[in-house]
A and B are shown apart, each in its own frame.
Chain A
């Protein structure tokens, strides 16, 4: 049996030690390669996720104005496209939840009507969004969405909630949380 002094002189020992070192290195290298591959996969998944169509709506303010035979709604919004692909808003709708006589709710949808901008008759110029609306990658557009709800539609029912729904080119819908709207009156016309 070899003593401690000539242990390293025995080729069987240092060859085994060398083999252990090499296998340790290969374990480390493969661990590092695995980690790099996982990182690369995460990066490519994130990139792919950024290519999924998505729009974000930020509501600046919302008003309601009562006019004869209908209610007009105006929402100043900014619409962002945080993804890496160009997109368009194909449809903008106001979803109105109202309460019927039996205290049950019903939901109707009305379409954005850019032509209402001319009929509102405000002195302040408003940039009304016109659909379809192109929003390139990483861009934001801002403007008014206008809706008219005929009194005949829901009659004298109480409106419970309003939501804006945008549908993009890919048919993906984005909706806001329920919106509080303020009644808008032209005080300059009083007296």
Chain B
């Protein structure tokens, strides 16, 4: 699918900045979303009390609706990153942008695309980790295949290879290394908690 440029209209100024990801983890729950391994993001909601409300409200309101778009912000300071644009409709209306550095956080994008979902939770401070409170409220956002996969495969391979090359590997070695890393990540990402039957 060919990428196209588009403008996103937001209601509030706070929605123009990407939400900071404090920490991440991977969660696989038996009987939920096919037991797939999904990335979990702990979000800094200091400037986004609406997201904190959403995570709390969603606990009691049941399933909601969200429009998902993968893309890239065309502005200075957003190089080497891809973005996930989430337009929530129910139970709350708001817009959120999550930005992922391709080299450092590519595993999260890879896993969101493989598992077709992502968990969002609120960080309880700067040094927070999921292990500090495993039972915190979290929202599962389904990330269907929007045709981004092919583009991502190229981007991820290219950026990883560039990174290896900048660290001293040769041209063909860096390509080979990038391919191996992606293969290993996919093996790990295909982990799935199977249903338990009596």
Which B residues lie within 8 Å of A93 (CB)?
Answer: 90
- Given A100-B49, A102-B49 in contact, is the A108-B91 Cβ separation under 8 Å? yes
Q: List 13 A-B contacts (CB under 8 A).
A: A100-B53, A104-B50, A106-B92, A107-B94, A108-B57, A108-B92, A108-B93, A110-B61, A152-B60, A153-B53, A153-B60, A154-B53, A154-B57
- Distance in angstroms from B53 CB to nearest chain A CB is 6
Q: From the candidates B14, B49, B56, B91, name the one contacting A109 in the complex (CB within 8 A).
A: B91
A142 on the B face (CB < 8 A) = no
Which A residues lie within 8 Å of B89 (CB)?
Answer: 109
Provide the bound-state CA to CA distance between A107 and B11, in Å: 10
Task: Please report which residues of chain B, range 59-112, place their CB below 8 angstroms from some CB of chain A when the two chains form the complex.
Answer: 60-61, 89-94
Task: Please report which residues of chain A, range 141-159, place their CB below 8 angstroms from some CB of chain B when the two chains form the complex.
Answer: 150, 152-154
Main secondary structure of the interface of A (DSSP, over half): strand
Which A residues lie within 8 Å of B93 (CB)?
Answer: 95, 107-109
B12 touches A104 (CB 8 A): yes
Which A residues lie within 8 Å of B92 (CB)?
Answer: 106-109
Q: From the candidates B50, B60, B90, name the one contacting A150 in the complex (CB within 8 A).
A: B60
Q: How many residues from B make CB contacts under 8 Å with A?
A: 16
Provide the bound-state CA to CA distance between A108 and B90, in Å: 7
Task: Please report which residues of chain A, range 100-129, place their CB below 8 angstroms from some CB of chain B when the two chains form the complex.
Answer: 100-102, 104-110
Extra pairs beyond A102-B49, A108-B91, A108-B92 (8, CB < 8 Å)? A100-B53, A104-B50, A105-B12, A106-B49, A106-B53, A106-B94, A109-B92, A154-B53
Provide the bound-state CA to CA distance between A105 and B11, in Å: 10
Which A residues lie within 8 Å of B50 (CB)?
Answer: 100, 104, 106
B60 touches A101 (CB 8 A): no
Which A residues lie within 8 Å of B11 (CB)?
Answer: 107
**Most chain B CB within a 10 A radius of its CB, from A101, A106, A107, A110:** A106
Provide the bound-state CA to CA distance between A101 and B50, in Å: 10
- Given A100-B49, A104-B14, A104-B49 in contact, is the A152-B94 Cβ separation under 8 Å? no
Provide the bound-state CA to CA distance between A71 and B93, in Å: 20
B49 touches A101 (CB 8 A): yes
Which B residues lie within 8 Å of A95 (CB)?
Answer: 93
B56 touches A152 (CB 8 A): yes
Which A residues lie within 8 Å of B60 (CB)?
Answer: 150, 152-153
